[in-house]
Amino acid sequence: MSGDSARERILEVATRLFAELGFDGTSTRFIAEAAGLNIATVAYHVGNKRDLYLAVMERAHQRERAALEQATADITPDVAGVLRLLDRYVDFCADNPDIPALWMHRWLSDASDVAHLENAYVQPLMEMVADAVGKAAGDDVDIEYLVWSVIWCTHGFARGGVLRGDGERHRMDDPSALIRFRAHMRRMVTATLGLSP
């Protein structure tokens, strides 16, 4: 296995495990075993557990940033443009469920000793999206809280889903639940912006 493919394999496994169990609940040994490698090989390609976590979060950030840069570049300053941006964000989270899960763990104080990620990764994306959405909103709309509300709801739905009468949690991988969630989020955003669809 080449160095690049070993590193990629390690990052993919680590992303999945950090998303499922959190940084604090995942050991380097567990990552190595799940990747079919030994700890020395993991350390050689990525470094220690903190280095691995930072690489996972950087990779997740790059994916999210690329998606949001494209989506905000295409936005029009009206409700249709904002709803397209919302749809693309929901689609991104549905296609990359590990990324919302990684951030949900951080919200629960996972990897609390790695404190700089929110300022380095979250804040610039928040500002980019808020600037784009703000062009379609009136002065009375709290854009920051609107954007955070979309993030909170989308990440919560991606991770926790909705508990239905069948006793099962229905998440983004359930097409009918995703349709309902998207429709609800579109109504919420439209109502908050005070615009007609």
Q: What does the pLDDT profile of the chain (197 residues) look like in tens digits?
A: 555 788 999 999 999 999 999 999 999 999 999 999 999 999 999 999 999 999 999 999 999 999 999 999 989 999 999 999 999 999 999 999 999 999 999 999 999 888 899 999 999 999 999 999 998 888 899 999 999 999 999 999 999 999 998 999 999 999 999 999 999 999 999 999 886 55
Q: Is residue 19 part of a domain?
A: no
pTM confidence score? 0.91
| pLDDT, position 72 | 95
Residues in CB range of 16: below 8 A, 6 or more apart: 34, 98
- Number of domains the chain is built from: 1
Structure tokens at 179: 């349709």
Q: Is residue 23 part of a domain?
A: no
| Spatial separation of the C-alpha atoms in residues 96 and 64, rounded to whole Å | 9
Residues in CB range of 6: below 8 A, 6 or more apart: 37, 41, 45
| pLDDT, position 138 | 81
| pLDDT, position 3 | 54
| Spatial separation of the C-alpha atoms in residues 162 and 190, rounded to whole Å | 22
Boundaries of domain holding 73: 57-193
Q: Is residue 154 part of a domain?
A: yes
Structure tokens at 185: 């989020």
- The CATH number of the domain holding residue 144 is 1.10.357
Q: Is residue 170 part of a domain?
A: yes
Q: Is residue 68 part of a domain?
A: yes
Q: Is residue 125 part of a domain?
A: yes
| pLDDT, position 139 | 84
Q: Is residue 8 part of a domain?
A: no
Backbone angles phi, psi at 96, to 5 degrees: -130, 60
Q: What is the dihedral of CA 66, 72, 73, 78, to 10 degrees?
A: 160
Q: Is residue 14 part of a domain?
A: no
